Structure 1
Amino acid sequence: MRIIHARPDDVVKLLAFREEAAAWLTRLGSDQWQRPYPADRLLSTIEADSVFMVVDGGITAATITLTPDVEEGLWTEQELGEPSTFVTKLTVARSHAGQNLGGRLLDWAGDRAYRTGAKWLRLDAWTTNEALQRYYLRQGFAHVRTVREGDAVNGGPRVSGWLAQRPTAPADHGFEDNT
């Protein structure tokens, strides 16, 4: 399997990929990702070279976004002063579930972050998705805290405020990195 940068013409494919994941999460009883993701936001992260895809033959098997940017109000100024890479939108196709593809992709992300000088691989996860939180803990992340205060955009509770991190490190992830 190869890791490549997503391209602007991958927007429709990646939006459908997210819809598949949202439907699966709904079947599991989670309210995560129920609002459609804005195509223009996805396109801007693709154009920033932050979106990566795992390709298995001609099939997109997984995707991940890595960025130095973070949603305001989640991490402290001290934490933001530490070199970090933030993981968002990690998604594995249902056709490739159960193969530790997500774990290997997190290892790849930690390796990539390490090579760029980051100390931490960090993420925020859905506050009500305890299965996802347990998954990240099994992947070596440590829970930092859960941010629950209202979010400035819509005044409601923050839905993705479970914060976790793990140190970056070289890893043998097994992917062919074509980035």
Structure 2
Amino acid sequence: MYQQLSKIARKFMKESTMFKVGFNLSPMYRRSTARILSVSDDLHTVKIRIPLNWKNRNYVGSIFGGSLFASVDPIPMIQLMYILKEDYIVWDKSAHIQFKRPAREAMYASFEFTAAEIERIIENVKENNEIEHPKVTYITNKTGDTVFCEVTKSIYIANKEFFKNKRRN
């Protein structure tokens, strides 16, 4: 459903605007309590804010860990899908969350793919047909100088034709 809506929305707005508005209006993402603050025009950088409020405050008064994870979980995969376009299959393969300290204030995260990183991904997929790409996201305070949480994800990326043939066998 979301892919169909994004195809229609592409006719009326920039992809970066559609990415931001789509996430911020999506019921599943809204429940995480996070909001996307900005998306670069090339979609290589996405910034989010996770407020501390009554919806995500846990028993000890910090942001519920599930809310922190839900806030960062979908972004790298979908960001990479937008960057690589429809020639590739992109899936979340695994995730690990490491809590460093309680989050008792609004939290922030930045998701970045460099041009060199994208080139490496494309080259590795050309060579191997499929890869798992590790991506680390740090959840920090507003100034970014203190890490409260680290999320490591493994993203599966494959050549679309290779993936289709692999599924048939």
Superposition TM-score tier, normalisation by shorter sequence: 0.3 to 0.5
TM-score normalised by length of structure 1: 0.31
Higher Rg of the two aligned structures: 2
Higher strand share: 2
Greater length-normalized contact order (CA 8 Å, ≥ 6 residues apart): 1
What is the TM-score of this pair, normalised by structure 2? Answer: 0.32
